[in-house]
Structure 1
Amino acid sequence: MTTLSYVNIFARQLEPLAAFYSGLLGLEEIVDSRSSIFRGFRCGDASLGISASDAYELLGLRQPTGEGERNIVTFDVESPTEVERLVEAAKGLGAEVVKEPFETYYGWYQAVLRDPEGNPFRLNHPGRRV
Structure 2
Amino acid sequence: MPSIDAIGMVARDLPATLAFYRALGLAIPAEADAAPHAEVELAGGMRLMWDTEATIRSFDPDWQRQPGQSHTLALRCDSPAEVDALVERLRGLGHAVQREPWDAAWGQHYATVVDPDGSGVDLYASL
For normalisation by structure 1, the TM-score amounts to 0.78
Q: 4+ residue stretches of structure 1 with deviation over 6 A?
A: none
Mapped contact 1:97–1:112 kept (Cα < 8 A): yes
Q: Please give the per-residue CA displacement for 1:74-107, whole angstroms capped at 9, x wherever unaligned.
A: 1111111100000001112221111111122322
Q: How high is the sequence identity, in percent, across the aligned residues?
A: 26
Mapped contact 1:7–1:47 kept (Cα < 8 A): yes
CA distance in 1, matches of 2:104, 2:79: 15
CA change 1:122–1:59 in 2 (3 A) is farther
Question: 1:39 corresponds to which letter in structure 2?
Answer: A
CA distance in 2, matches of 1:8, 1:51: 8
Partner of 1:42: 41
Structure 2 gap ranges (5+): none
Partner of 2:27: 28
The structure with higher relative contact order (CA 8 Å, sep 6+) is 2
For normalisation by structure 2, the TM-score amounts to 0.80
Partner of 1:52: 52
Please state whether the residue corresponding to 1:29 is helix, strand or coil. coil
Structure 1 gap ranges (5+): none
Mapped contact 2:83–2:111 kept (Cα < 8 A): yes
Instruction: Compute the RMSD of aligned alpha carbons.
Output: 2.5
